[in-house]
Structure 1
Amino acid sequence: MRTTVTVPASVKTGQTLSLNDFTTTFALSHDVAHALTSTGSLAGGLTFGLTIHRDGKKDTIPVPMTFAPTAVPPTGDVTLTATGQAPGLALDTPGAVTLDVTAPTLALSPAPAGTGTGSGPGTSPGSPGTPGTPGDNPPAPPSSGVPGNVPPANDSSSTGSDPSTPTTGAPPQTGTAPPTGTSPTGTPPAKEVTCTLTPGQPTSLGTLMVLPGQAAAGSVKAQSESDEPLTIVTPLVLVRIVAKSTVVRLGANITSTPTALLNGIWTIRLDPNTGIPIDSTVSGTTSFKPQQSTFLGFGFVPVTATVEFLPVDYRNAKQIPITGAITTDANNVSILTSHIDVMARLSNAKVNGQPLDVGPDCVTSQPVGLDLRGPYEPLGVGSIGTDPNSPDPKFRGFVLPPFRNCGATEPVSPLLTGMASGPGNQAHVETLNLAECTSPDHTQCPPDPNLPPAQTAKSPR
Structure 2
Amino acid sequence: MPGPRPTPRLSRARVRGATIAAFVALAPLLPAAAVAVGTVRVDAALPYVCTLPSGPQPATVRITAAFPERASVGEEIRPADVATTVELPASAVADLTTPRAATVRAETRLAVGAAQDEQRTEATWSGTGQPVAVPAEGHLVLTTTGDVPSLTTGTAGELVLTAGALAVDLAPSTADGAATAPPSLAVACVPAPDAEGRTVLARVPVGAGAPTGTPSAPPPSTTAPSSPSPSPPSLPTDRPAPPTAPGATRATPDLPTPPGAEPPPDGRGLATAEEEPPGTPAPRPDAPPCVTEKPTPMSLSAYITGYSNVRKLNGANVIPVSCALIEQGQPEFDPREDGFHLITKSTARLSYQGRAQTPPFRATFLTFGFTPTTATLVLEQTGPMSIDSDVLLIFPDNIAETYVRAPLVLRVLDVRVNGTPLDVGPDCRTEKPLTSPEPDPATYPGDHLVLVGKGQLINGTDAEGYVLTGGGPLTGTVTIPPFKDCGAGGEDLDRLLTAAISGPDNHVKQIQGQTCSVGIETPPPDQCTEDRQPLVIPKPER
TM-score, normalised on structure 1?
0.46
Higher relative contact order (CA 8 A, sep 6+): 2
Say which one has the larger Rg.
1
TM-score, normalised on structure 2?
0.40
